[in-house]
Structure 1
Amino acid sequence: MKKTYRDIAAELSLHVKTIYRVLNNAPNVRPVTRRRVIAALSRNGFFDGARIGRERIVIEQPELEWSGRIAERLIRQLDQRIFELIPLSPESARQEFLRAVEEASTVVLLSDPPAEWITRIRDANPEAVLINLFGNHGGDITLGEDHYLGGKLAARHLRRVGIHSVCMLSYDHRSGHRNRGDAFMDEFLRDHPDGACRRCFIRNSSHDVSEALQPLPEAFFATCGQLGDRLHQLLTERGVRVPDEVSLLVYDGPDEAYLKSFPPVDAIEFSIPQVIDLAEYYITKRPLLLHHGPFATRVAPYLVTRGSVKEKTKVKAKQETV
């Protein structure tokens, strides 16, 4: 009879939660403990020991520049290992992508794909392990940032400095952006009946964002760096000063390497290298999924302040003192 995770934990005199922390590549596990757990799991068949030779890994390389750069970084980290790496863009060659999936052991997605596309990949090769980076559903292993926590952190930051009205810009076709926006609105308006939150959905990268300026709120929150950059350029063109006349907060913007001239703005960021390391871990170790089914690993976002959000509460206090 095959051992369970509880059996492995008992054998190593550990709590079963430690086994799951190792499987999820959690940082709060001592290196010596991690090595003991991985060795025990390998001895008992929890890792796929038959993965020898040039295993084929299909990596989605989206046309969106930000996701494409992350794919390139992941490929560089995997390039030192014995893999046959197949980077392909399904936007321009879906049939070629599916043909490559048929002979792959692992498929890595970076575009937050819809359920219909995941189903087609599953149909092409039910045996392939599907790793979904930056997606919210689908796949054997889902990685990425915690969109809900990020949205809440953004709302708390603006409320903490006394912001009462905000306009939020978000792409309407990206589920992660919608989740960030939903969490932001819930947190911003919770217990604050005086708050006003207007939401502007942007259809695509060429959509005019000028509608967001009417009327001008106290602050803007953009659910991605690209939208934040476009908004900042528009405000500059209109002579609206940040943060003197309006505050600006973005999600994960400054770490987006393609935004060469991105201004120093407050941002909700997460560690992209950590996500890439997690992806490498699951590709190279790939715990067998028969024992626990699909699971998700989320990287916690954090707030970085750079002076683009005006502290209205302090300004008001100074005026009253004068």
Structure 2
Amino acid sequence: MTPTLHDVARLAGVSIKTVSNVINHHPNVRPATRERVELAIAELGYTPNLTARNLRSGRTGAFALAVPDLGLSYFAELAATIIQEAESRGVGVLVEQTGGDREREIELLRSPRRGLTDGLIFSPLGMGQEDVAHLDVSYPLVLLGERIFDGPSDHVTMQNVEAARAATEYLLEQGRRRIAVVGAHAGEVIGSAGLRLAGYRAALDAAGIDYDDDLVGYTTMWHRANGAETMRELLDRGVAFDAVFGLNDTLALGAMRALQESGLRVPDDVWVVGFDDLDEAQYSIPSLATIDPGQDWIARTAVETLLARIEVPGEQGPARRLLADFRLVRRESAPGDAPRD
């Protein structure tokens, strides 16, 4: 016969309530008791009846994650980490792609499918600050990204301006003076491209170096092909530079390919720094120096924050903005004076 909660409690010598607390990861269980219950569960092969538990609690035991494009390495790695964090807490994740389309993102927020999950971690790309009212929803929501600020929901994000400034300052400190940018978005102020370009400009201003728009390569998407194409355009225009700041790693990797095709050597002729610290950055030739914006922290904090809102809805206080720490990762493409990571 299928083992029951009563069977586990009897074998472990505890109450049914204690077994339930262990299964639901309640913190107020003594380690020795938790171990005894877990051993009993393993010995009996007990599996919690999630359907019945969810019916009693009014929860589904899953939340949704919406990102623009899993074809972009950053969002693929972020999604994988969020899923791992959720599964470690016994929660499932329903992943959706929006394509970065504003209308699809707005529709997703009000879709009946939200009733199949307990909350949403949402990274918009098409929506902007003017759409902040759409975030006023009736379910727990955690916002990611840099498109909308000061909304009604918790916002977990990175320090784009400060991190981009640190990357640029590093290149300046190492004697680079003509730093090209790959990946700017024309006219953008709020958004990853706009904020990172602002950090780049702040570093130049602090060093007393004039901003030169000829050094800025504009594009739309942030794929390798866009990085390579933008770099070729800079080279075709005859722009002189001794360093490149790619506004994300995939752009930087594409730019590095175009540099090498042109006969320029990295880092002998041109230094290159990216942003995101993707896994592939450490395996490129040369390995890519980059900014680690705290992606693992962002994923973990987003899950923890959403689950806390789900557990005690409306009782966690006002919406919070949570910022990840960042660090510069020195590698072969911009070696500097310090040991490489």
Mind listing any 5+ residue stretches in structure 1 that lack a counterpart? 1-34, 37-49, 313-322
Say yes or no: does 1:186 pair with 2:202. yes
Q: Answer yes or no: is the 8 Å Cα contact 1:58–1:100 preserved in 2.
A: no
Work out which of the residue numbers 211, 216, 222 in structure 2 matches 1:199.
Answer: 216
Displacement of 1:298: 0.8
User: 2:21 is matched with which residue?
Assistant: none
Say yes or no: does 1:85 pair with 2:93. yes
Counterpart of 2:216, as a letter, is: R
Say yes or no: does 1:60 pair with 2:66. yes
Say yes or no: does 1:284 pair with 2:292. no
User: 2:326 is matched with which residue?
Assistant: 301
1:61–1:152 CA distance, 2 compared to 1 (3 A): closer
Counterpart of 2:60, as a letter, is: R
**Whole-Å Cα distance in 2 between the matches of residues 260 and 129 of structure 1?**
38
Say yes or no: does 1:149 pair with 2:162. yes
| Aligned residue pair count | 261
1:301–1:82 CA distance, 2 compared to 1 (3 A): closer
**Per residue, is there more helix in 1 or in 2?**
2
**Whole-Å Cα distance in 2 between the matches of residues 88 and 102 of structure 1?**
14
1:257–1:168 CA distance, 2 compared to 1 (3 A): same
Displacement of 1:79: 2.5
Bigger mean CA offset, 156-165 vs 54-63: 54-63
CA displacement 1:243-282 (0-9 Å, x = unmatched): 11111111124x2449964631221213322111111211
Q: Answer yes or no: is the 8 Å Cα contact 2:59–2:118 preserved in 1.
A: no
Bigger mean CA offset, 151-160 vs 200-209: 200-209
Work out which of the residue numbers 136, 141, 156 in structure 2 matches 1:130.
Answer: 141
Displacement of 1:160: 0.8
Q: Answer yes or no: is the 8 Å Cα contact 1:148–1:179 preserved in 2.
A: yes
Displacement of 1:187: 1.5
Displacement of 1:159: 1.5
User: 1:246 is matched with which residue?
Assistant: 270
CA displacement 1:283-309 (0-9 Å, x = unmatched): 222265567422211111111111323
CA displacement 1:144-189 (0-9 Å, x = unmatched): 2111110111121012112221111124278022101111112223
**Whole-Å Cα distance in 1 between the matches of residues 165 and 219 of structure 2?**
21
Q: Which has the larger radius of gyration?
A: 2
Relative to the length of structure 1, the TM-score reads 0.69
Work out which of the residue numbers 102, 107, 110 in structure 1 matches 2:120.
Answer: 107
**Whole-Å Cα distance in 1 between the matches of residues 126 and 282 of structure 2?**
24
1:61–1:99 CA distance, 2 compared to 1 (3 A): same
Counterpart of 1:218, as a letter, is: D
SS of 1:187 mapped into structure 2: helix
**Whole-Å Cα distance in 2 between the matches of residues 53 and 203 of structure 1?**
40
Q: Answer yes or no: is the 8 Å Cα contact 1:169–1:221 preserved in 2.
A: yes
Bigger mean CA offset, 220-229 vs 182-191: 182-191
User: 1:75 is matched with which residue?
Assistant: 83
User: 2:171 is matched with which residue?
Assistant: 158
Counterpart of 2:203, as a letter, is: E
**Whole-Å Cα distance in 1 between the matches of residues 175 and 281 of structure 2?**
33
**Whole-Å Cα distance in 1 between the matches of residues 257 and 177 of structure 2?**
24
Say yes or no: does 1:273 pair with 2:296. yes
Mind listing any 5+ residue stretches in structure 2 that lack a counterpart? 1-26, 29-55
**Whole-Å Cα distance in 2 between the matches of residues 152 and 258 of structure 1?**
20
